[in-house]
Every structure is written in C-alpha cells, then in structure tokens.
Structure 1
C-alpha cells in the first residue's frame, strides 16, 4: 500500500497562512484552493492549511499538538533559524533550550498553532 501522511493545520485564512508558512519554510504551495492549501514536504509528507472548519478560530484556545520542523543541521542551524524567525516577527513561545531529544524552540503561527523546531531523529 502506498500512503502519504498529510498534517492538516486549521487556520482562519488559508492564503494568509500559506504566505506565513511559505516564508518560514522557503517554499511554494504544491496545491491551492481558496480554503485549502498544501505544501509538499518530500516523499510521503505534506503540510495542509485548511480554513473554514471552525468559525473565528482563536489563538487563545490551548493547542494539544505541534507541527515539528525536524532539521539535520545541529544546534547551530537551530539557533540560526530561531534568529531568522525572531527577526521576521514570528511569535516565540519558548526560546532555544535543551530537551530530551536535543536543542529545540517553540513558535506559533498567527492562528495560535504551535511550530516546534527540533533535531531530526
């Protein structure tokens, strides 16, 4: 069986969210409709932004999951990404720190969805 894993992130405005994620990931969407926009992250993995599933999605609602950008460049690359995102005005919840799996930091998108940057396993 061939399968693909699509991580869906609920957002208020799919085009605005796509501009945010496209800027962070330095990539363009692979599929676009007015309310659903996807990014091809590599073989078998996509990130999709889906609007209209919740009315007035609030960033104040606690989130119980995260999108994780797993990098292979080590702690120095993580710190560089942190500095880049900070300079872009991305909201940072937790700056770089050590966790059980290595150095990491946690940001949020404009809709309050969590984005973790961490080392690749």
Structure 2
C-alpha cells in the first residue's frame, strides 16, 4: 500500500491552484474543472478538489483533508476492504467504480476520510 496524495477541499479551485503553484514552485495538472494535482513533493501529491463537487458529499469546510491510498491491484484492494470491514471500520462509501477506478471511503474516529482505490484495467 502507498500513500498517494493529500486532497484539500477548496471553494475556488483556480485561486488555490495559483496559490499552491506559487508556494511550492510546481506545475499543476488540471484533470477536470473540479480537480487538480500538484506534483511538488517527492512520493506524494497534493490534490485540490472543488468542495461543492465532492462524491460522496461532505460538510467539512476549510482544513478538511482526505488521505488517499493506492492499492496495486483489484485483489489487494478487495482484500483490504474486507479486512477493514471485519475490523469494524466505518465507511462513508462502500466499494464503487468511478472514472479513475475502484474505490471506497472509510472514516477514522473523527470522521476524517480515507479513500482507498485501485485503477481500472
């Protein structure tokens, strides 16, 4: 398992892209009008997501983050999901397929989000 990125929920994506690219002197990759990645830290990406377009929705405002964990394949993804379920982990969203692959969203005791995904083949 690899920690993939830190996702920051933002109200204005363009304003935040400008801020972070200046702050870290890096180039953004705009993946959609609501999502951008900043490849400015070794081995982890800072991502910006338009708060109004989150799926599933979140009431977190300012300071909200989402840990994103990449699994190497569907088998390890399914295994981790089943293990966490057996451990009683709370899920904001159970397994589903999105444009980027398979994912689920777990919650820690303070309801911070932990999204686990594997890319579609």
Give the number of the structure whose residues are more often strand, by fraction: 2
TM-score by length of 1: 0.46
TM-score by length of 2: 0.46
